[in-house]
Structure formats: C-alpha cells, structure tokens
Amino acid sequence: MWVEIICGLIIYRIFRRFFNCDDDILEVETSDSNAIFSVANRLEKLYSGNVYVGLRIPDADTGSPQNIDIVILTKGEAVVVSVKNLSGFVSINEDGSWTCEGGRSHKEERHPDPVAEAKKQASVLESYLEQRGVTLPEGYFSYKVVIPNPKFSPIHCNFPSEVITYEEWVKLNPEPVSMFSGWIKGVFRGGKKEMQESFQQQLKFILSTAPMWDRLELKGSKYVLGEFLEFKGKQEDTLALRNIKRSKVSRLIIQKTSMFGLAPSKLQVLYCPRDYRNESASGSEWKEATVRSSTEVLFQPQNSTKVRKFKFSSITSMSLSA
C-alpha cells in the first residue's frame, strides 16, 4: 500500500512539473521587477542601509507620480538608484539617450537618458521630503544607474560616473575603495549624535510611509510591482477576504494547509493590520482566513495596460501601499 502511495506521489509531482497549473507565473514577465529586488537586496547587504523599493513620489511639475526603483538610506547619505535591466548591444546618442539592439525584443529600442531620469527622480524626492518637513543638507541626495544584466554589451561607450555597468556591479564590495565609495559623504560628521539619529528616524518614517507600488511575491522568488485591484472567486471566499483592504491591511501571506506536497484545495491567508507606529506586526496581531486555492488576485502590473489574474496557489505574499 505504501509503495502505491509513494508511486502515486511521484507520478503526481511529474505531472505537476510538466503541466503546471500556475500559468499566471509563466504569463507575466517579472524579470524587471526581479532585477530591482535583486539590486536592492545586494545593496542592503553591502552597505547595511535601509532600502526602499518601488516608490511613487508625487511630482508637482507633471502632476503625476515619479516612479523610483530604489532609495538606499545610510548614516551619511541617501541615494536614488535607477535599475535598467537592459540586454543587447547598447550605444549612447548625442542627446544622452541610449540605443539598445539585440535585446529581449530583438528590435532596436531607444531609451531616454537614464542619468537625466535618475537626476530628476532625486530632485522630485528632495522636494517631496522638504514638503513633509525635512530640511536636507545640500548634496545629501545623489543618484546612480545600475545595469545588473550580464547580457548588457556597451559599444564604445564612455558612461557617466553615475552609471554602474554590469562589470562594475559584480565587483562592488563594501570597502571604502569600492565603486560606491563616493556615496557616503558623511555630511553630518562633526554634528551632534542626537541630531543625526533624529534626522535619520524622520527620514526612515517618511520613506516607509511614502506612496509605493503594491507588490506580489510569487513562487520561485519572482516579484511583480503594480496595483492590487480586487479578489475574485467564490462568494464565500471573497467574503472571507472582505477585511483585506489597503486602508486596513499592509501585508498578507499565503500558506498551504495540506501535507505531502499535494495540491491544497484550501489555503490559509495570514494578514497584518496596518499600523504606522511599527514597521512589523507581532504574531498576536496577525489574523487569518481560509479560502480556495483557485481564488484569484486581480493585479495591474507597473508599466502594463493589461490587468493580470494570479491564483492564490501561485502567490507567496502581497504587500499593499497605504
């Protein structure tokens, strides 16, 4: 009997491998979001700073949000990081724009000057922080453009110092002689420790409560930035999730309820009430709901006009911006 059960499990896993029902993961290209989170994680490890991903900062000049991939905050400086997941042969045009050939689309693509874009993002973020009552020292913010794609091939390019190519990116280390040594200006050296700490805490609070993209973490450590719209499914499942609204909930985690690797028909959803006083909730604050694995999340990915559907069975967690 046990032999039959084990054989059945093996056959089932093989079937799942070749006929995976989590088509949502395969349908959406998450490489750009994955690149952003990969860069953010590495910067956090290298420089032990606070990293904020997927900011949407209001731009008074255009009236629309300015998308900022990453902000890293250290004791001496804040840096806006723009991640360009470009592949193929890249050249720089006279106006500063970049031309990419032979990349993922196999067509010639022209990209606006990434350095000018990053500079604009830093300026918009500075204005936003000042509007929220922060007095920034001159030169506190800097900006960088990171190219993390190993298939990035520059053609006779002299990139500005703000650009970190793939070859430079893989060589980064936390030593003072590293490529990013200029990031840490130490503008508060010589100042009072209490003033430094107060300033840092103020910045951390504002950046952690700034507008951000919602984020989905999918199985296989894949990410999608965008906007959560609603839940779809059986009425009893959507009713069980009725309390999960961005005004009330900051994060939810999806867990299996079955054993032996079998596909669960029900999933446990743990969700954390939103609390601006703390960055994380204690175990006693988490609430739970149980829904069918076929329940779906409707999500509008960043830079996409198409609304995507993700089954709960393909999702690990979801974070909601306020």
287-298 pLDDT, tens per residue? 999 999 999 999
Mean pLDDT of 49-64: 91
Residue 20 above 50 pLDDT?
no
* CB contact at 8 A, 266 and 291: yes
Tens digit of pLDDT for each residue in 8-18? 555 545 444 44
Check whether domain 48-208 has CATH 3.30.565, yes or no: no
pLDDT of residue 254: 94
Sheet holding 78-83, edge to edge: 50-58, 65-73, 78-83, 141-146, 163-164
Weakest mean pLDDT among 57-61, 103-107, 308-312:
103-107
In the chain, domain spans:
2-28+214-319, 48-208
In whole angstroms, give the CA distance from residue 181 to residue 253: 37
Mean pLDDT of 293-312: 93
Backbone angles phi, psi at 103, to 5 degrees: -85, -150
Q: What is the pTM of this model?
A: 0.80
In whole angstroms, give the CA distance from residue 132 to residue 126: 10
In the structure encoding, which two tokens stand for residue 119, read together?
Answer: 């500079």
Weakest mean pLDDT among 98-107, 201-210, 214-223:
98-107
pLDDT of residue 193: 57
Tens digit of pLDDT for each residue in 131-152? 999 888 888 889 999 999 999 8
In whole angstroms, give the CA distance from residue 313 to residue 157: 45
pLDDT of residue 175: 53
Residue 253 above 60 pLDDT?
yes
Which DSSP string corresponds to 51-63? EEEEEEEE-TTTS
Residue 163 above 90 pLDDT?
yes
Nearest to 55 by CA among 85, 77, 81, 28: 81
Average pLDDT of the chain to the nearest whole number: 82
Mean pLDDT of 281-291: 76
Mean pLDDT of 165-170: 92
Weakest mean pLDDT among 93-107, 253-267, 292-306:
253-267
Residue 35 above 70 pLDDT?
yes
Give me Rg for the CA atoms of the chain. 22
pLDDT of residue 276: 63
Run of H or E including 5: helix 2-18
Q: Which residue has the tokens 């500005």?
A: 160
In whole angstroms, give the CA distance from residue 57 to residue 211: 6
Higher per-residue pLDDT: 199 or 58 = 58
Mean pLDDT of 6-34: 52
CB under 8 A, 24+ apart: contacts of 256-259 = 257/290
Nearest to 148 by CA among 225, 265, 40: 40
